[in-house]
């Protein structure tokens, strides 16, 4: 593990990392987030009965759009050309939704932040669309599951490190 904060310069100031000398490689990242809710709320989502419309489709699109705009949201992220972004949302009865976002690119810098942003914004969209019936929903365990490419190589979370919320 590297103990150097790359977004802090020698004077202790935040700065954007210079990637001009890095090689372009294929990069991929997968992130997840969970939304815990009342069982009745999950039933509304899965039945398509939510007052604001199709929650899962809307959250998926919101996650994709957010990934594309990550550099506008996270101040020190480089704008990158994504080659793929997928957001999968699975109902996990009785009271959870699981979001998995995967981002890919061929760039000089990674796509971890894009995957994390996609998962986060998809979760926030579920909350927004269902808050009228369940303000007690919780967004939990947003985290990186895997990243590959670049000089630092591959990171894969130990699958024994589970993060399945109890609801």
- CB of 117 within 8 A of CB of 74? yes
Dist. CA 28–CA 109, nearest whole Å: 10
- CB of 110 within 8 A of CB of 150? yes
- CB of 44 within 8 A of CB of 52? no
Dist. CA 58–CA 61, nearest whole Å: 5
For 5-9, which contacts have Cβ atoms below 8 Å and span 24 or more sequence positions?
7/76
Active site residues: 128
Dist. CA 98–CA 51, nearest whole Å: 21
Phi then psi for 149, rounded to 5 degrees? 100, 160
Dist. CA 85–CA 103, nearest whole Å: 4
């Amino acid at each position: 593990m590297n103990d150097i904060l790359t977004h802090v310069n020698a004077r202790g100031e935040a700065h954007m990392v210079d990637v001009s000398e890095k090689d372009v490689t294929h990069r991929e990242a997968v992130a997840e987030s969970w939304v815990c809710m009342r069982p009745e709320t999950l039933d509304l989502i899965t039945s398509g009965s939510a007052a604001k419309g199709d929650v899962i489709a809307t959250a998926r699109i919101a996650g994709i759009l957010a990934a594309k705009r990550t550099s506008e949201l996270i101040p020190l992220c480089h704008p990158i050309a994504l080659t793929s972004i997928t957001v999968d949302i699975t109902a996990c009865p009785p009271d959870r939704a699981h979001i998995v976002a995967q981002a890919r690119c061929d760039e000089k810098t990674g796509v971890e932040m894009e995957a994390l942003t996609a998962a986060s914004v998809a979760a926030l969209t579920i909350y927004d669309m269902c808050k009228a019936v369940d303000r007690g929903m919780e967004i939990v365990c947003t985290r990186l599951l895997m990243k590959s490419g670049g000089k630092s190589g591959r990171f894969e979370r130990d699958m024994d490190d589970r993060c399945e919320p109890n609801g």
